Amino acid sequence: MLLVKDLVVSYGAVKALHGISLEVRQGEVVTLIGCNGAGKSTTLRAISGLIRARAGTVEFEGKPIHRTAPHEIVRLGIAQSPEGRGIFANMTVEENLELGAYTRSDPEAIASDREWALSLFPRLRERFRQNAGTLSGGEQQMLAIARALLTKPRLLLLDEPSLGLAPQVVQTIFKIIRDINAAGTTILLVEQNAHMALKVAHRAYVLEVGVIKMQGPAAELAASDEVRKAYLGMH
Nearer to other proteins, 101 or 212 (CB): 101
Of 39 and 82, nearer to other proteins (C-beta) is 82
Output the smallest distance, CB 80 to other proteins, in A. 5
Nearer to other proteins, 41 or 162 (CB): 41
φ, ψ at 57 (rounded to 5°): -130, 155
CB of 218 to other proteins, least distance (A): 26
Q: Are 9 and 16 in contact (CB under 8 A)?
A: yes
How far apart are CB 69 and other proteins at their closest, in Å?
7
Residue 203 beta carbon to other proteins: minimum distance, rounded to whole angstroms: 25
Written as one letter, the residue type at 5 is: K
Residues 141 and 143: their CA atoms lie apart, in Å, by: 5
- Is residue 25 within 8 A of residue 154, CB to CB? The reply is no
Q: State how far the Cα of 134 lies from the Cα of 49, in Å rounded to an integer.
A: 30
For other proteins, the closer CB: 103 or 171? 103
- The residue (of 27 and 84) whose beta carbon lies closer to other proteins is 84
Q: Which residues bind other proteins (CB under 8 A)?
A: 48-50, 69-71, 74-75, 79-80, 82, 84, 86-91, 95, 98-100, 102-103, 147-148, 151
Sequence-separated (6 or more) residues with CB below 8 Å from residue 125? 118
Instruction: List b or e across 7-45, with b for residues whose CB sees 16 or more CB atoms inside 10 angstroms.
Output: bbbbeeeeebbebbebebeeebbbbbbbeeebbbbbbbb
Our CB check for other proteins shows the closer of 43 and 221 to be 43
Which residues, 6 or more positions from 194, have their beta carbon under 8 angstroms from its beta carbon?
33, 227, 231, 232
What is the Cα–Cα distance from 110 to 106, expressed in whole angstroms?
6
